Structure 1
Amino acid sequence: MTQSELKEFLDEKVELYNKPKFIESDPIQIPHLYSAKEDIEIAGFLASTIAWGNRKMIINNAKKMMDFMGNSPYDFVMSHSDSQLEPLENFVHRTFNGTDFATFIKSLQHIYTNHNGLEAVFVKHQQEDSMQNAISEFKKLFFEIEHLPRTQKHVSDPLKNSASKRINMWLRWNCRKDNQGVDFGIWKTISPAQLSCPLDVHSGNVARKLGLLTRKQNDAKALAELDANLRILDKDDPVKYDFALFGLGIFEAF
């Protein structure tokens, strides 16, 4: 397949999967429950944090997280009492437990109170062609508050060779305006050109079959390779190809 043929093939798959119907079976449906910017970004962050494993279980548990917060994420983050955090102890999704959940709530409050909110943190540390440094700096700020060491594993660090799949997915949701009603585009200060594809087993396998990726591990080095190749296909919106790679892997068993 020539480069132009590959681009045509993947563009067709983006058009096929970047549609409102995609929301029905994806964790992005959780932030779609809300209309206010802060509610969307908090709901999205929490849903993406637990986005590994069975997709149905991810969505069900993310809905439970919203229920614990009275379905008002930003209000709960900013005005919760210690007693309101106690019920969170009953939450569990794989290795993410109630203690982690409560720490995340406190840390989000810390970021909105002391660092002007989530978008401001990422804007401050963005680079011209990558958000990976910004993700690493975000993790540092996120754990400025008192926390158990175990909770740190739930926020990845690309500078420690993680592909940071879940945060890159969340950044796609926030920064990319797709005009199809899927991605939100609520963060206007970060260009989609700076985003990275959420790299996991499925997208990685498809990318290798298409010659977009040669590295065998799904790590930060693989992500850099995939990013470079996707930017050749579309320098302004490379992360749109997440829909194609994901759709080919999950829905078509490519």
Structure 2
Amino acid sequence: MTFEKVAKLLKEESFKRNHLEEISLERPDPLMVASKHKDEFSALICALFAYGNVQAIIKFLESLDFSLLEKDEISITQTLSQHYYRFQTSQDIQQFFLTCKRAKAQSATLESIFLEGYRKSHNVMDGLRGLIAFLYDINPYRSRGYEFLLGKIPATIPTSPYKRWHMYLRWMVRKDHLDLGLWSGVESKDLLVPLDTHTFALGKKLGLIQRKSYDFKAVLELTESFKKLDHNDPIKYDFALYRLGQERRF
């Protein structure tokens, strides 16, 4: 398929899928749960637990009481004592909620922390570096599951795609019928693709990615391909590509 045909397909699919009915119990996505709360902390929880089978993700997210972020730490630990998800034990989940609770208690918005790094050169990885470091700093708890959830503080030259974090940024920055647009200080043109293994495979099949390795360089390559379609809002094609892969259209 030529690039012109791929471009036409993605433009049509992104337009067609930009409506609320695109996400439902029949067509689940973690954004469905995040959209109920429209809060940057609840959305972060939804995004970082968004790995594995999508039905299992939704079931877990819907079992959570996001109002716990407004309650005391004892209530958080007691309420979440029986919760677990894949690599995260109940203690990991308790501590992650405590981290978010403490961040809110400091009157710090996640956007303000992100902007401290991002504003220097409009590089979202600089913003993520500061935000992830901030979350680690306010809670000394460490475990394998907890660190998997937050991810590593990005190196100067990252290797990981940081898929869940870039998905979170898409939700926060872009504003349409799907993405929440809760942040105003970040430009859509600076976002990077939340690349997962499925969109990576389809991106290669459609000629949008030449790189053989699923890594950060592949993220940059697909983002550049999307920028040829819309320089100011390249990531609006991410959801369409994800759905095409999920539906096994190619």
Same-fold call, TM > 0.5?
A: yes
Q: 1:142 aligned to 130, 135, 159, which one? A: 135
SS of the aligned residue for 2:43 comes to helix
CA distance in 2, matches of 1:163, 1:11: 24
Equivalent position amino acid for 1:95 in 2: F
Confirm or deny that 1:18 pairs with 2:11. no
User: Which piece of structure 1 moves more, 108-117 or 184-193?
Assistant: 108-117
**Shift of residue 104, structure 1, vs aligned partner:** 1.3
Which piece of structure 1 moves more, 16-25 or 166-175? 16-25
Residues 84, 156 of structure 1: alpha-carbon distance in 2 compared, 3 angstrom cutoff: closer
1:206 is aligned, of 202, 209, 213, to: 202
Aligned to 2:59: 60
Hey, which bits of structure 1, 4+ residues long, moved more than 3 A? 1-5, 127-130
Gaps of 5+ in 1: none
Q: How many equivalent residue pairs?
A: 241
TM-score w.r.t. the length of structure 1 is 0.87
- CA distance in 1: counterparts of 2:76 and 2:246, whole angstroms: 38
Name the aligned partner's letter for residue 80 of structure 2.
Answer: L
1:115, distance to aligned residue in structure 2 (A): 6.4
Corresponding residue of 1:172: 170
Deviation, structure 1 residue 236: 0.8
**What's the C-alpha RMSD, in Å, of the aligned pairs?**
1.9
**Residues 197 and 223 in structure 1, CA contact (< 8 A), matched pair in contact too:** yes
Q: CA deviation at 1:125?
A: 1.3
The 1-side partners of 2:75 and 2:108 are apart by 26
Q: How does 1:154-193 map to 2 (within 5 A)?
A: 154-157=149-152, 158-159=154-155, 160-178=158-176, 181-193=177-189
Q: Which moved more, 1:127-136 or 1:191-200?
A: 127-136
Q: 1:84 to 1:106 in 2, by over 3 A?
A: closer
- Is 120-129 or 220-229 further displaced after alignment? 120-129
Letter in 1 for 2:148: K
Task: Give runs of aligned pairs for residues 90-105 of structure 1, distance below 5 A.
Answer: 90-105=82-97
State how far apart, in whole Å, the 2-side matches of 1:191 and 1:237 are: 9
**Secondary structure, counterpart of 1:211 in structure 2:** coil
> How far apart are 1:95 and its partner, in Å?
0.5
8 Å CA contact 2:170, 2:235 repeated in 1 = yes
C-alpha distance in structure 1 between counterparts of 2:81 and 2:129, whole Å: 28
SS in 2 for 1:125: helix
Q: Is the CA contact 1:115–1:121 (under 8 Å) kept in the aligned structure 2?
A: no
Deviation of 1:6 after TM superposition, in Å, equals 2.7
**Kindly, what percent of the aligned residue pairs are identical?**
28
| 2-structure distance, mates of 1:227, 1:155 | 23
> Are the counterparts in 2 of residues 129 and 193 from structure 1 also a CA contact under 8 Å?
no
Distance (whole Å) between structure 2 residues aligned to residue 247 and residue 5 of structure 1: 18
Which aligned pairs between 1:194-233 and structure 2 lie closer than 5 A?
194-233=190-229
1:176-195 C-alpha deviation (Å, 9 max, x unpaired): 012xx211111111111111
| TM-superposed deviation, 1:111 | 2.3
